[in-house]
Amino acid sequence: MLPLGFLAIALGVFLLRRGLAAWTIGRSLAILVWILLAVGFSWYPLAEIQWRFWRFASALSSGRALVVEGVVADYSQPEQLKMVHDRFRVGDAYFEYTDRVDNGAFHQTVAAGGPIRPGLHVRISHYDGVILRLEIEKSPPT
């Protein structure tokens, strides 16, 4: 969506610069409105990502994030609408995520090379249903 917004801005600026003198005020105003809407649609995804980042960072730093530690159990990879999800449980906490949607937190599925495996001992800091920090116990050298 972001590249399309910038393309719309460029188109609006091009039209505005090319025909400002020859066009009526109504057409020029319409192009200015077009540019403002394109800017809004371009910056919204960036603002949303930034807002999520600050929200999750605040949850970690203020202690509002919950921490669960234990063994990964009930691991599965159901496919929903052509998207692979990782689903598992640690203690009483259930987690589900996909690598197709960037939610600003951990979302690396096993299919995409993620580290979660059944039987793995982990410590997870989570908030509002998303994994903010994943710590994996290193196995002792053999």
- The predicted-structure confidence for 70-123, as pLDDT tens digits, reads as follows 999 998 887 665 667 788 999 999 998 887 777 778 888 887 888 888 999 999
Does residue 52 surpass a pLDDT of 90? no
Contact 16, 29 (CB under 8 A): no
Whole-number pLDDT of residue 36: 78
Contact 59, 128 (CB under 8 A): yes
Instruction: Name the pLDDT band for 50 (thresholds 50, 70, 90).
Output: confident
Q: Identify the CA nearest to 89 among candidates 122, 111, 59.
A: 122
End-to-end CA distance of the chain, in Å?
50
